[in-house]
Amino acid sequence: MKLYSFPQASLEKAIAKRMLGLAAPERAWFAERWSQKPYKKSFIELKAMPLVTFLAKGKSWSDEEFAAELAGWDVKFYAAEAAVLRPLIEGDGLIQLMQKNMPAERAQALLDKLDNDRHA
């Protein structure tokens, strides 16, 4: 998938803001990992930026393109990661304009991915 060129610094700031709203155990788990540069880089590149790409481009893709890209996005989420990313799909902050015309079933497919593709 060709990633959408969303400013990484803005995305990191948005994630850090959402981290503060997590419940204590999830916040501690995520903050510990977020402070490690390799995890942060991996999280941004493999989970957060592709999600932003789905929000930016997903509304203009055909159903087949959307389904193929979603199936090809082979990642697993920890509960705290899903909690941090969920507001991006639900329409929070500067990403709101991207979600504006996202079909509800596609937004739900992204939420389902967060909920169902989990680490054991």
37 is a domain residue: yes
- Other beta carbons within 10 angstroms of residue 55's beta carbon come to 24
Return the minimum-mean-pLDDT range out of 1-15, 28-42, 92-106: 92-106
2 is a domain residue: no
Q: What is the pLDDT of residue 9?
A: 84
What's the CA gap between 92 and 31, in Å, rounded?
A: 20
Q: What is the pLDDT of residue 3?
A: 57
Provide the H-helix boundaries in the chain: 8-20, 24-34, 37-43, 49-57, 63-72, 79-90, 96-99, 104-116
pTM, two decimal places: 0.84
Q: Structurally, how many domains does the chain consist of?
A: 1
Does the pLDDT value for residue 44 go beyond 50?
A: yes
3 is a domain residue: no
1 is a domain residue: no
